[in-house]
Chain A
Amino acid sequence: MAGEFKPTEAATSVFTFIKAYPAFVARFVLFSIAATLPWIIYFVFVSGKIIEHVGLDGRNWEDIEAFRAMLSQINALPLLIATAIFWFALSIATQAMAIRKTVLNQETGILGLAWGGFETRLSIICIIFSFAPLLIFWPLFKTFAIMADGTARIEALVAPLVLFCIAFLFFIPFFIYAIGRWGLYGICALQENNFGIKAAGKVSKGRFWVLFGAFALTYLIWMVISGIFQNLGRVLLGLHDVVITDPTEFAEFMALFTPELISKFSVYMLVLMIIGALMHLAYICTGAFAYLKIKQAEAANHALEETK
C-alpha cells in the first residue's frame, strides 16, 4: 500500500487540473459564486432592515412584537428558506459536477450541472455530516447553559472552558477520523452507486494517515494562498486604511458605505469567493487524485497476481 501516492502530489494536483481543464474550472468557480450570491443579497437586505428597525444602539430591541411584524413584512423567513435551498442545491450540483469530471472526466446535464441519484445521495450525506456534530453538542451546550444559569457562579466561568475541552477532546479527533476514513465518500458514492460511506472506509483502510495528510496539506496550502490574496487585496484596494467611526444614526451608518468603498469591497469579496471556490476544488482534486492512484496501484497488483 505504501507509495501508491504522495500526499504532496495529491495536495498540489489541483494546479495540474486547472492547467488541463481551464474552461471547466472557470465554470466551476462561476457556479460556486452563483450559489453564494443569494446569501450576500439576503444578508445585506435583511440585516439592513433589522439595523434600521432596531437602531444602531439597539434602542428598539425590546419591542419584540414590532420586530416580528417587521420580519414578516419583509418575508424574512420564506426568503431565508428559499436562499438556503437554492444555495444548497447549486452547491451540491457543482460539487457533483467536479467529482464527475475529476474521477471520470465526464460532464453531464446543462454545462455539467445535473440532478440525479448521485446528487441526491450526496445531499443526504452532506446533511448527515453537517448535523451530526450538532446532535452531539446541542445537549452538551444546553447542560452547561443550565449549569451556568445566567449567574456569576463558578460554573458560568468554567462552562465555556469545559465545553472547549470536550469539543477538542471529542470533536477534533472525530473530525480527523472522518477526514481520514470517509474523506473519499463523494467519489465512492459516484463509483459504487450508493452512499459511499462503507466503500470510502474500505478504500482508506491502511491509508488513513496518508489521506488525512493529503487533505491537511491541501488546507494549509490554501490557507497560505488565501492569506496572500486577503492581505494583498486589502492593501491594493486600500481597505486597510478605511476609518470606521462610531455612528449613532442609521443614516450616518449608511453614509459610511460610499460607492467607492462598496465597489472596492465587492472586488475584494469576489476575489475571496474565487479563492474559496478553488479551495473547494482543491479538496475534490486531492481526493480524486488519491482515489485514482489507489485504484491504479490495485489494478497493477491484480494484474501482477494474475500473471503469476
Chain B
Amino acid sequence: MNKFSATKAAFSIFDFMKFNRNFVLKYIAFYFLFIVAYLTAMWAIGYFDLFKIMMESAASGNPEAMDIAALNQWSGSIVPKMGLVMILSAGAWVMYISAVLRKMLRNEEIGFHGLSWGKDENRMALAFLVYFGLYIGFYLMLVVGMLIGGGIAWGLGQISPILSGIISVLIGIGFFCALLAFIIRLSQFGVLTIANRKMGTIDSFKETRGNFWSFFGAHFILSFIVMLVMFVLFAVGVMIYGNNLGTPGAENSETLTAIMPQFFALGLIYSLFAGFVMQAQICIGAYAYKVMHEGEELPIEPEATPHIWPTLGE
C-alpha cells in the first residue's frame, strides 16, 4: 500500500470540488436541510422548552431551585420523541455519508441525487453499529483503567503528593491519547464499507496500520483550519447579535424567545459551513484510500449466495 500526504489529504476536498462542484454544493444544501429538519423536529417536540424552564427559574431569583416538576414533565415527554428523532437522524446520516462516499470513491450517483437506501446503506448502518459497540466497550475499558490508575495515584499521594499529581496528569493524557488513537484507527470504516462492498469496521484497523500519523495529521490540519474559521464566524455573530445578549433582563424568557430566531439564523449559517466541512472530512478518507490502493480495481457487489434456511432439510 502506498503512503499519502497528510496535507494533500486535508485539502483534497478542493481537488474533488474542481470536477464535482455541483455535487459539493448540492450536498452542502442537503446538510443544511438536514440541520433545518433536525432543529425543526427538536423544536416541534419541545426540546427547547428546557431553556425556558431554566430562564424562568433564573428569573425567579432562586436559580438553584429549578422547577423539578416542570423538568420531570419536560423530560418524560421529550425522551421517547427525542429517541425517535435521533434514530431518524442516524438513518439520514447513513444515507448522506454513503452517497458522498459512493461519489468520491466510485463516481456513482444513484437514487435521489445520490441519496438512496440499498445494500451500501444497510452495510453502513451495521458498520456504524459495530463502531458504536466497539467505542462504548473501549471507553468503558479506559474508564476502568482510569479508576484503577486513580486508586494507585491516591495511594501514592499518601507517600508523595508530587508523584501522585504527576501520575494523575499522565493518566489523563493517556486516556486522551488512547481514545484519539482508537478513533483514528477506526476512522476508515465508512470508506472501506463503500469501497469494498462489505462492512469495514474491523478492516479499518488493518487499513490504518502504519499510516496512523498521516491520518492523524490530515484530520488535525483540517480541524485546526475549521476551528479558525469557526472563531471568525463566531466573532461575526457576536458583533451582530452580541448587544441583545448583554441587555439587562436577557435572562427573562420573553427576551429569550425574541432572540431565538437570531440564534437560529446564526446556527443555519454555521450549518452551511459545516456541510462543506463534513464533505472535507469524508474526503480525507476517500483520498487516502485512493492513494493507498492506486491501480487496484474496486471490488464489485458480491453475488448473493442461497440462504441456509429455505433449503435446510430438503
Judge whether A79 is part of the interface by a CB distance below 8 angstroms: no
A178 to chain B minimum Cβ distance, whole angstroms, is 16
C-alpha spacing A242/B76, complex, angstroms: 8
Can you list, as one digit per residue, whether each of A144-181 has a CB less than 8 Å from chain B (1) or not (0)? 00000000000000000100010011000000000000
Beyond A231-B83, A240-B76, is A221–B129 a contact (Cβ under 8 Å)? yes
B interface, CB within 8 angstroms of A: 73, 76-81, 83-84, 87, 123, 126, 129-130, 132-133, 140, 144, 147-148, 198-199, 202, 307-310, 312-314
C-alpha spacing A232/B87, complex, angstroms: 11
Judge whether A136 is part of the interface by a CB distance below 8 angstroms: no
Chain A residues whose CB sits within 8 angstroms of the CB of B147 once the complex forms: 161, 165
B309 touches A232 (CB 8 A): no
C-alpha spacing A106/B77, complex, angstroms: 47
Beyond A220-B129, A240-B81, is A8–B199 a contact (Cβ under 8 Å)? yes
Can you list, as one digit per residue, whether each of A66-101 has a CB less than 8 Å from chain B (1) or not (0)? 000000000000000000000000000000000000
B130 touches A220 (CB 8 A): yes
List CB contacts (< 8 Å) of A108-153 with chain B.
Answer: none
Judge whether A224 is part of the interface by a CB distance below 8 angstroms: yes
Instruction: State the main secondary structure of chain B at its contact with A.
Output: helix
Beyond A240-B80, A241-B77, is A224–B129 a contact (Cβ under 8 Å)? yes
- Nearest neighbor of B83 in chain A, beta-carbon distance: A231
B312 touches A217 (CB 8 A): no
Beyond A105-B312, A165-B144, is A8–B123 a contact (Cβ under 8 Å)? yes
Judge whether A37 is part of the interface by a CB distance below 8 angstroms: no
Additional 20 contacts, C-beta under 8 A, given A217-B129, A235-B84, A240-B77? A6-B198, A8-B199, A13-B307, A16-B307, A16-B308, A20-B307, A20-B310, A102-B309, A165-B148, A168-B140, A217-B126, A224-B87, A227-B87, A228-B87, A231-B81, A231-B83, A240-B79, A240-B80, A243-B73, A292-B308
A interface, CB within 8 angstroms of B: 6, 8, 11-13, 16-17, 20-21, 102, 104-106, 161, 165, 168-169, 213, 216-217, 219-221, 224, 227-228, 230-232, 234-235, 239-243, 289, 292-293
- Nearest neighbor of A18 in chain B, beta-carbon distance: B309
Chain A residues whose CB sits within 8 angstroms of the CB of B310 once the complex forms: 16, 20
Chain B residues whose CB sits within 8 angstroms of the CB of A21 once the complex forms: 309
C-alpha spacing A121/B157, complex, angstroms: 54
A37 to chain B minimum Cβ distance, whole angstroms, is 25
C-alpha spacing A153/B309, complex, angstroms: 60
Chain B residues whose CB sits within 8 angstroms of the CB of A227 once the complex forms: 83, 87
C-alpha spacing A69/B77, complex, angstroms: 41
- Nearest neighbor of A217 in chain B, beta-carbon distance: B130
A179 to chain B minimum Cβ distance, whole angstroms, is 13
A104 to chain B minimum Cβ distance, whole angstroms, is 7
B309 touches A231 (CB 8 A): no
